């Protein structure tokens, strides 16, 4: 049985929402404390980032104008995949080990750093192509 993208997305969203609901219910029933419920959903969000980022380099976009342009686009996707996968792993790890008061700002900074690396590499790939055309 193969999942298409829509089914996989719906399944992933259902898992995340169910985990959040179970965490809230567990905290309400005092099976787990509220901090643990928050940690569980944040860890799941980090793992979700890892899954999506790992799939990014495998996505095939529209055909590029040249093999060089395709190579640059693929390189940008690979760097994005790596930087966001690492950011997702660190994000989840921060929520496992750091105190809650520290976990929120650190995890945001980690993802922001991963996104910055991704945007700068994509910009550089596009800029290099434009510079080649102008020169």
133: pLDDT strictly greater than 60: no
Supply the range of the domain harboring residue 93. 5-134
**Is residue 6 exposed (0-12), middle (13-18) or buried (19+ Cβ within 10 Å)?**
exposed
pTM of the model: 0.79
78-117 pLDDT per residue, tens:
888 999 999 999 999 999 999 999 999 999 999 999 999 9
43-62 pLDDT per residue, tens:
999 999 998 898 877 776 66
Give me 54's structure tokens.
């790992």
Name the domain count of the chain.
Answer: 1
15-42 pLDDT per residue, tens:
889 988 998 899 889 898 888 988 999 9
Check residue 30 and give left, alpha or beta (phi > 0: left; psi -120 to 50: alpha): left
């Amino acid at each position: 049985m193969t999942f298409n993208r829509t089914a996989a997305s719906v399944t992933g969203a259902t898992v995340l929402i169910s985990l959040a609901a179970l965490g809230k219910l567990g905290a309400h029933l005092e099976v787990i404390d509220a901090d643990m419920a928050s940690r569980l959903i944040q860890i799941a969000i980090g793992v979700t980032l890892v899954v999506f980022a790992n799939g990014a380099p495998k996505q095939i976009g529209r055909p590029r104008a040249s093999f060089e342009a395709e190579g640059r686009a693929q390189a940008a996707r690979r760097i994005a995949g790596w930087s966001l996968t690492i950011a997702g792993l660190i994000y989840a790890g921060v929520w496992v080990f750091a105190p809650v008061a520290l976990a929120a700002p650190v995890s945001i900074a980690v993802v922001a750093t991963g996104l910055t690396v991704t945007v700068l590499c994509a910009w550089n790939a596009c800029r290099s192509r434009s510079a080649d055309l102008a020169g």
